[in-house]
Amino acid sequence: MLPSSTKAPMFNSQPRLFLVDVFTEEAFWGNPVAVIGAGIPLAPEQMVRIARWTGMPETVFVLPLNTHRDTEHAADYQVRIWSPSCELAFAGHPSIGAAHVLLEEGLIASKAGRFTQLCMAGCIDMCVTAAGAKRRISFRTPIPTVEQLDDADHTEVLNAIGCSTALAKTALVEAGARWIIVEMKHASEVNALRPAMDRVLALSALRNVSGITVLGRTHAGGADYEVRSFAPVIGVPEDAVCGGGNACAAAWVARQNDWREGSADSVISQGRQVGRAGRVFWKGPDETRRIEIGGFAVTVSAGTFHVP
- For 79-96, what is each residue's pLDDT tens digit? 999 999 899 999 999 999
- Please indicate whether the domains covering 9-140+296-304 and 145-290 agree at the CATH topology level: yes
Record the pTM.
0.93
Whether 141 has a pLDDT exceeding 60, the answer reads yes
Widest CA span in the chain: 58
> What gap in Å lies between CA 287 and CA 262, rounded to an integer?
9
If you classify domain 9-140+296-304 with CATH, what class do you get? alpha beta
What does residue 62 show for φ and ψ, rounded to 5 degrees? -95, 125
Q: Where are the domains of the chain?
A: 9-140+296-304, 145-290
CATH superfamily, domain 145-290, is Diaminopimelate Epimerase; Chain A, domain 1 (3.10.310.10)
What pLDDT is attached to residue 13?
59
Contact 256, 146 (CB under 8 A): no
pLDDT classification of 165: cutoffs 50, 70, 90: confident
- Reported as a single tens digit per residue, the pLDDT across 171-224 is 999 999 999 999 999 999 999 999 999 999 999 999 999 999 999 999 899 999
Q: Give yes or no for a contact between 249 and 284, defined as CB atoms under 8 angstroms apart.
A: no
Query: What's the pLDDT tens digit per position in 242-259?
Result: 999 999 999 999 999 999
Contact of 8 with 39, CB cutoff 8 Å: no
pLDDT digits (tens, 9 = 90+) for 5-19: 343 456 555 789 999
The mean pLDDT of 45-58, rounded to a whole number, is: 94
What residues contact 287, with CB distance under 8 A and at least 6 apart? 261
Alpha helices in 9-123, H assignment, sequence order: 44-54, 67-73, 92-104
Contacts of 152 by beta carbon, 8 Å cutoff, 6+ apart: none
